[in-house]
Structure 1
Amino acid sequence: MKEELAEILVVTSRFLDYPDQQFYQECSSLDTYLNTFITAEEMQKEMYQRLKPLFSLGLKDLQELYVETFDYKEKTGLYLTAQELGDSRRRGDALIRLQKLIADLGFEKVGIELTDYIPMLMELLAVAPENEEIRHLKRRLAYAIHRIFSQVSSSNPYFQIFDSLMTHVFEAPSSEEIARLLNEREEADLDELPYPMLYR
């Protein structure tokens, strides 16, 4: 993957993870953080403007915004197979196949999140050698991230992260692709549910 795109993936994947104290300290100087991970000066400036609103919030407010945005809403959940399949029993098989893909590429999942946790898969995309399976994973992530992006209000500071991803990294899915994938989803009984339930 082109170096600049990989750098954007690494930075935005960290900002889409739950903002704990360690993260808040690491990113306390946003300029320094971006200079560490992004090479191009123009992209540093752009990402600074996009991410700065998140740091107008204190840690507690940022954590509350994160939970409100991602944790309890099915349409903005940060889990790939949930975005693809909804409340389907087929998610189990999909997770197993995804775990096999990660292992076959020579990587292993770390942390407590499920295998299809989108920020983790973005990091994988940034470092894995490009092949047909990675290109397919990129298309899957493009669909999921586009779907989340369409549900996040433009007034939400996290909107800028998804806008950056869809502008620089991912190609928006076609209407035919969206229709096909929507047809494969199984909707839950409720519009908003406590899924996936994260214990913090």
Structure 2
Amino acid sequence: MRTEVAETLVVLARFLDYPDSQLVEECSDLKEYLKQHLSSKEMQEELFKRLEPLLKIELKELQELYVKTFDYEEKTGMYLTAQELGDSRRRGDALIRLQRLISDLGFERVGVELTDFIPMLMELLAVAPLTDDVEQLTRRLSFAIHRIYTHLPNNNPYYHVFDLLMSFVFKAPNEEEIARLVNEREEADLDELPYPMIYR
């Protein structure tokens, strides 16, 4: 993977993780943060323009926005196999295969999130060797991220993160790929979860 693409993936993965005080502290000077993590001045400027609105939101409000955007809505959920398979029993097998892929690549899953947490897989793509399995994972993530992107309203500050991903990192899936993957999905009963979520 090209250096600037890998760098962009790592930065955007950080912004798609659940926002916490560490993010606010790390990015208190966003221009400096991007300068440290991105070698391309053009990308530094592009990401600053798109990411700055997120950091202007108070942390508690940003956390609430994150949960509302990614935890309440099935179509914008942040888990790869849920985007691919919906509310399907096949997710269990898919998660096991994904964990095996991560292990075979020589990496270990860290944190409390499931194996298919999209920001974590973005970080994996940034550092993993280019193999057929990694290329396939890239295509799978392209579909999932494109699906989230097309279901986010453009007035949601997180929309700009996905716009960056689809503009500079991933290629939109073609109609045939979308049709095949949509046919494999099993929709959940409700778009919105029928119980309140507790902010993390």
What TM-score do you get using the length of structure 1 for normalisation?
Answer: 0.97
Deviations 1:61-88 (A, max 9, x none): 1111111111111000000000000000
Is 1:180 the equivalent of 2:142? no
2:151 paired residue number: 151
> Are the aligned partners of 1:71 and 1:198 in contact in 2 as well (CA < 8 Å)?
no
**Identical-residue share of aligned pairs (%):** 67
Distance 1:199 1:110, change over 3 A: farther
> Are the aligned partners of 1:73 and 1:194 in contact in 2 as well (CA < 8 Å)?
no
Distance 1:9 1:186, change over 3 A: same
2:5 paired residue number: 5
2:77 paired residue number: 77
1:57 paired residue number: 57
Distance 2:56 2:169 in 1: 26
> Are the aligned partners of 2:67 and 2:199 in contact in 1 as well (CA < 8 Å)?
no
Distance 1:15 1:39 in 2: 18
Counterpart AA for 1:180: R
> Are the aligned partners of 1:72 and 1:194 in contact in 2 as well (CA < 8 Å)?
no
Counterpart AA for 1:179: A
Deviations 1:87-142 (A, max 9, x none): 00000000000000000000000000000000000000000011100000000000
Runs in 1 of length 4+ with deviation above 3 angstroms?
none
Cα distance, 1:55 vs. partner? Answer: 1.4
Structure 1 segments unaligned to the other structure (5+ residues): none
Cα distance, 1:24 vs. partner? Answer: 1.2
Distance 2:119 2:194 in 1: 19
> Which residues of 2 match residues 1-200 of structure 1 at below 5 A?
1-193=1-193, 200=200
Number of residues of Structure 1 aligned to a counterpart in Structure 2? 199
Counterpart AA for 1:73: E
Structure 2 segments unaligned to the other structure (5+ residues): none
Cα distance, 1:194 vs. partner? Answer: 6.2
> Are the aligned partners of 1:71 and 1:194 in contact in 2 as well (CA < 8 Å)?
no
Counterpart AA for 1:93: D
Counterpart AA for 1:99: Q
Distance 2:198 2:167 in 1: 29
> Are the aligned partners of 2:64 and 2:199 in contact in 1 as well (CA < 8 Å)?
no
Q: CA RMSD in A?
A: 1.3
Counterpart AA for 1:164: L
> Are the aligned partners of 2:34 and 2:44 in contact in 1 as well (CA < 8 Å)?
yes
Secondary structure at the counterpart of residue 115 of structure 2: coil
Distance 1:61 1:29 in 2: 20
Counterpart AA for 2:10: V
Cα distance, 1:32 vs. partner? Answer: 1.1
Distance 1:194 1:106, change over 3 A: farther
